[in-house]
Each structure stands twice: as structure tokens, then as C-alpha cells.
Amino acid sequence: MPSIIELASVDFGYPGRKIFSQLNFALEKGEILGLIGPNSSGKTTLLKLMDGLLVPDRGRVLLLGEDIKRLSRSSIARKIAVVPSGVEVPFAFTAGEIVLMGRGIFLGRFGWEKKRDWEVVREGMALTNVLELENRPFWELSQGEKQRVLLARALAQEPEVILLDEPTSHLDLNHQIEIHERIRHLNALRNLTVLNISHDLNLAAEYCHRILMLSQGEIFCSGPPAQVITEDHIRSVYGIEVMVEPNPISGAPRVTPMSRAGLVRSQASQTVHVICGGGSGSDLIRRLLSRKIRVSLGVLNVGDSDYLIGKTLGLAMAAEAPFSPISEKAFAENKALMARADLIILERLYVGRGNLGNLKAAVEAVQEGRRVLVLESDPSQDYTGGEAREYYQRLRDGGATFCIDHSQILKEVEGVPS
């Protein structure tokens, strides 16, 4: 795929502060590129270099093969449009007049707009769904409406590239998605090349073809979202623990931050062993860790969503191979973790032949005099032909404490009478 903007061996810095050194990067024609990274990693500086607003100390920025510093602002603006995260308009311009400003490069200093200019303006406003706002004062529009008007202004330039500097940072979730959907539509409709600076890793993963992750002025990695947005990369660049799993609908990587409070386990006063699976334990694990309670898990199949949480948080776990029934080895590891725990909790979960051993282990724990809390089970989650129900009855007969929800579980954990 041909490059439309290329940075070749670029050095750049502000007085007393180096930003880029020997930076090489290319924006490919027709792609939507997500530019991510922590604050001060160089994202906005890179955008300004690409638009020719900043000049490299060394190296070159090429726009369609030409050195951008040799091009006039008007020539650059015919190829590249920039959409900022917001703009203040001191005068009472209408939305239509704001969009018309994008035609300034075609009008000249004293030129007047022609029929063709208004056709382009209204086409851009229709594509961004703001045509009905044409005569409304810009200042009275909502943030979402303003951002769509700014996108329409960029389209009025008839550019080949749009550079977006956190276009949804001040918007609610509904308008964030709307803006990203508009951008994806324009990319498909016009083969528009897009660079989008974003702090929302989930939206970047969902809507971008490629992700470039910056760290301290260097390209940490670049590639398809699933290759870039990983737990290890985010831990290295952002310094936080997250869980990354595929979005169940789109398959794009989905990032879930882990509470810093939940990661402080060195002063845990007690240990709770949680039997869970299929995501049933995620909420309880978070709540227990936030209370400085040490947590262990098992038995979980490798790749299970609760397994991924435990792996990310470094919890002790008894694990089994993916899609495999609980082996004698995993069963013994689970029993060993239970023996070290002050309390055992059996989450409400789907039970089949493969994980029936978890219920058996809980029954044995009760018989050994261990304290076991059980979330009331749903009969529809029994896929064992009734065998699981028999285990639940043995738990009840053996003296396990049955709870209706997590609130009651936590009261029991903290020793507060229900």
C-alpha cells in the first residue's frame, strides 16, 4: 500500500526537551491509523509535523513524495485537513459559515464563495449529519454537534488525509461512537486516509485498521489492533495492569483496567479461594481484592475469562488445559489451594461433566470441616443430568452457607451477621 505521508529519520525537540530522534513512520493511503500512547509521548507533536506546522530539526516529512517544508500552506491544506478536539469561536458564526471556512483555500484572499463551494459545504454537512444545523449559531451547539461541524469543515477542504487530535475527548459515549462511525463511513466511501489520536484504547481497537503506540518519543510498536493492544504492551508503556480479551461481538481487543487497590495484596489479612468460571468470578474477585483479601482460584481452563483475570493479577490458580475436563493433577492442585485458604466460595456457574470436579472438591472441603460459602445455584445451569444438583444438596446437608448474592457473601467474608 503506498504511503501518503512519510517521516524519514526525523529529529525534533522543543527548547531543552528532545521529542523524536531518528523517527521513521509512514501513513498509508486509505487506512485508519490509531495513534495511542501516554501523555507527553509525542502524539500531538507528530500530528503537527505531519501537517507541516512544525519543522523537523533533521530528516524529512514527505507528502505524496514531496518535502512538506517546500509546499505552501494552501498546497498542504488541499491534501491534509486537521480536526482539533475542540475550538472556541469568538464571533457569532453559524454552523454553515464555520464549514464554509474550509473552502478558504479555494477562494483566495478576497474571493467570494460560488455555487460549487456551497455544494461541497452542504455535502460535507449531510455526510456528518449537521445539515439541519446550517443556520444555527455555532456557540449554542452541543459538543457532539460542534465536533461534527468541525469534521464537516475538514471535508470542505476536499482533503486526501484527515488528522484527528482526540476528536471525541469531550463527548459522551453515544457521540464518541457516532463520530467514529462517521469517520469509518467516510473512509469506506471516499478512501479517505485518517490518523486518529485517541486515549480510548477500546474505541481505537474497534475502529482503526492499524495502531501505532508511542512511548517517550519512540514507536514502541505498530500493527493490527490485536498485535499492539496487549497486556504486556500496556503494562510496559502505560505502567498499569489491565486485562485484554476479545470483544465477544467484534473480536477486537477489549481493555479492562485493574484497580490499583486490588493489586495491593502484601498486607492481606486472610485468603479466600474462589471456585468460578466463564466470567462468574470477575466481580467478586475485584471486590475481594479491594478489601485487601488474598484470592486464589481454581480449577479454571486456560483461556477462560476468569483465568485471564487471575493471570493478569498474578493470583495463585489451579489450571487445566483449554476445553479439557479436570484432571487428577488439577484436582489435587485445587485441593491444595483450598487447604491454604481461610474460606472457600463457590460461585454461581454453569456446571458440566468437565468442571463437575470443582463441586466435588467443595463437598470434600465441607466434609473436612472447612468453611464454604455457596451462591444459590440456578437449575438451568446444570448440564450434568442432575448430578450437580446432588452435589449442591450434599453441600447444604454438610453445613455450607448458601447466600443469595455477593452482598451477603461479602458480609459473611467480613464476619458481619446477615
For residues 50-78, give the mean pLDDT. Answer: 94
Confidence of residue 291 (pLDDT cuts 50, 70, 90): confident
Q: Is the pLDDT of residue 144 over 70?
A: yes
Do 113 and 63 sit in the same domain of this protein? yes
For residues 59-64, give the mean pLDDT. Answer: 96
Residue pair 297/317 in contact by the 8 Å Cβ criterion: yes
* Residues 397-418: tens digit of each pLDDT: 999 999 988 888 988 888 744 4
> What CATH number is given to the structural domain containing 353?
3.40.50.450
Lowest mean pLDDT among 13-17, 232-236, 298-302, 375-379: 375-379
Do 229 and 296 sit in the same domain of this protein? no
Do 148 and 247 sit in the same domain of this protein? yes
Domain housing 409:
261-413
Q: Is the pLDDT of residue 14 over 50?
A: yes
Out of 221, 256, 291, pick the residue that ends a domain.
256
Do 26 and 160 sit in the same domain of this protein? yes
Do 301 and 216 sit in the same domain of this protein? no
* Residues 206-253: tens digit of each pLDDT: 999 999 999 999 999 999 999 999 989 999 999 988 878 888 788 899
pLDDT, position 244: 84
Do 308 and 223 sit in the same domain of this protein? no
For residues 191-195, give the mean pLDDT. Answer: 95
> What CATH number is given to the structural domain containing 20?
3.40.50.300
Q: Is the pLDDT of residue 267 over 50?
A: no
pLDDT, position 261: 47
Assigned domain for 116 exists = yes
The total number of structural domains that make up the chain: 2
Assigned domain for 418 exists = no
Do 185 and 243 sit in the same domain of this protein? yes
pTM: 0.67
pLDDT, position 111: 61
Do 70 and 194 sit in the same domain of this protein? yes
Q: Is the pLDDT of residue 274 over 90?
A: yes
Assigned domain for 93 exists = yes
For residues 44-68, give the mean pLDDT. Answer: 95
Edge-to-edge strand list for the sheet holding 17-28: 17-28, 3-14, 58-63, 66-67
Do 104 and 245 sit in the same domain of this protein? yes
Confidence of residue 328 (pLDDT cuts 50, 70, 90): very high
Q: Is the pLDDT of residue 106 over 90?
A: no
Do 247 and 284 sit in the same domain of this protein? no
Do 86 and 193 sit in the same domain of this protein? yes
pLDDT, position 108: 63
Assigned domain for 359 exists = yes
Residue pair 209/196 in contact by the 8 Å Cβ criterion: no
For residues 165-179, give the mean pLDDT. Answer: 84
For residues 120-142, give the mean pLDDT. Answer: 90
pLDDT, position 418: 40
pLDDT, position 1: 60
Out of 256, 286, 309, pick the residue that ends a domain.
256
Lowest mean pLDDT among 103-112, 137-146, 159-168, 399-408: 103-112
Lowest mean pLDDT among 86-95, 283-292, 319-328: 86-95
pLDDT, position 260: 53
pLDDT, position 167: 82
Do 62 and 90 sit in the same domain of this protein? yes
* Residues 250-266: tens digit of each pLDDT: 889 988 887 554 444 43
Lowest mean pLDDT among 4-13, 14-23, 114-123: 114-123
Residue pair 184/30 in contact by the 8 Å Cβ criterion: no
- Return the HEC string of the chain: CCEEEEEEEEEEEECCEEEEEEEEEEEECCCEEEEECCCCCCHHHHHHHHCCCCCCCEEEEEECCEEHHHCCHHHHHCCEEEECCCCCCCCCCEHHHHHHHHHHHHHCCCCCCCHHHHHHHHHHHHHCCCHHHCCCEHHHCCHHHHHHHHHHHHHHCCCCEEEEECCCCCCCHHHHHHHHHHHHHHHHHHCCEEEEECCCHHHHHHHCCEEEEEECCEEEEEECHHHHCCHHHHHHHHCCCEEEEECCCCCCEEEEECCCHHHCCCCCCCEEEEECCCCCCHHHHHHHHHCCCEEEEEEEECCCHHHHHHHHHCCEEEEECCCCCCCHHHHHHHHHHHHHCCEEEECCCCECHHHHHHHHHHHHHHHCCCCEEEECCCHHHECCCCHHHHHHHHHHHHCCEEECCHHHHHHHHCCCCC
pLDDT, position 92: 81
> How buried is 417 (Cβ within 10 angstroms: 0-12 exposed, 13-18 middle, 19+ buried)?
exposed
Q: Is the pLDDT of residue 109 over 60?
A: yes
Residue pair 17/5 in contact by the 8 Å Cβ criterion: no
pLDDT, position 417: 45
Assigned domain for 287 exists = yes
Out of 256, 272, 295, pick the residue that ends a domain.
256
Compute the distance between CA of residue 293 and CA of residue 270 in angstroms, rounded to an integer: 6
Lowest mean pLDDT among 187-191, 309-313, 365-369, 413-417: 413-417
